[in-house]
Amino acid sequence: MISSIDTDSILRFPVLVGDIGGTNARFAILVDSYAEPKQFPILQTADFATIDEAIQSAVLDHTSIQPRSAVLAIAGPVDGDEIDLTNCPWVVKPKQMMQTLGLEDITVLNDFEAQALAVASLESEYLEKIGGGTGEPNGSRVVLGPGTGLGVAGLIRTRQTWVPVPGEGGHVDFGPRTTRDFEIFPHIERINGRISAEQLLCGRGLQNIYRAVCTANGVTPDLLSPAEITGAALDGSSKEASETLQLFVVYLGRLAGDFALTFIAHGGIYLAGGIVQRIIPALKDASFRAAFEDKAPHEDIMKTIPIYVITHPLAALSGLSAYARTPSRFGVPTEGRRWRKGA
């Protein structure tokens, strides 16, 4: 019999940890609670038809270690025994994975829960601070990550335990505010009549803003990828790309400020993912903090809240590893999200 189990149960080692996004998947194995994770090369989700195939080919075929447990973080809501990823065709089927991969115990979390778990213990060397005061050690925190999509999660402290708060905050409504916004937003495609934050604040969001800026300026867009747009913005070779990146950081500041207010995040706002790591110079522009703090009548509160860019290359795996070692340190509800043979 396979069933969901209590969050306090200790995981059986070795433990496979995995961070599965819309484009990339990262895996590591913890042999025991004291060992450093054994990491494997980052793989492209498009190269494998299923997650089971990816784990077998890219991980298990390259090690003699057979994991007994797995803690997987996926980009999407966890609901039921067949879990769809938001921006990837893979479907996570824990019961099937036990049979195909020889696992005994599988926990599936949201990918930004993993990022939230990471910020509970990341060392300062992996955090680039952008303004604000000194974060309260036990203050609530928020993680945002523009990537293939836009991930959002909270982290709150209660009864000596860190509790991650997953959600789909990337899909909240996002509207125009300035005169320039009103010139650009009519050229941004709507989904079922609305514009969500994710349509602006992710890789394709950069492309959406860039195309809208070009249309508003009456020019033909000639930069195709997010990397080309950010590159041209940072080296100053494209006026439209420069404006795109400037708008991107302002919009990110506005949204980060919204979630800072939602959680009263005295512990800080944490920005995760490769996009923000590449645009740190743009995030240090005064317009980013100004947009973040422009939350009347609460500007004084906003000025105190620090913002950090997470520079750890595998932060989510670090968070999952911390959880796998000592699940009792975190208040992670696993009802309906953890499966174990014989329980």
Annotated binding residue 236: no
Report the alpha-carbon distance of residue 128 to residue 4 in Å, rounded: 39
Determine the Cα–Cα distance for residues 77 and 86; give it in Å rounded to an integer.
Answer: 8
Is 21 marked as binding a ligand?
yes
Identify the CA nearest to 87 among candidates 1, 191, 204, 182: 204
- The burial of 9, by beta-carbon neighbours within 10 Å (0-12 exposed, 13-18 middle, 19 or more buried), is given as middle
Radius of gyration of the chain from its Cα atoms, rounded to whole angstroms: 20
> Directed axis angle between helix 239-263 and helix 286-293, to 10°?
30
Coil, strand, or helix at residue 70? strand
- 20 in a known ligand binding site: yes
Query: Any binding-site annotation on 305?
Result: no
| Residue 19, marked binder | yes
Summary count for the chain: helices (H), strands (E): 12, 16
Q: Are 246 and 285 in contact (CB under 8 A)?
A: yes
Residue 130 counted as an annotated binding residue = no
Residue set of the binding site for ATP: 18-23
Residue set of the binding site: 18-23
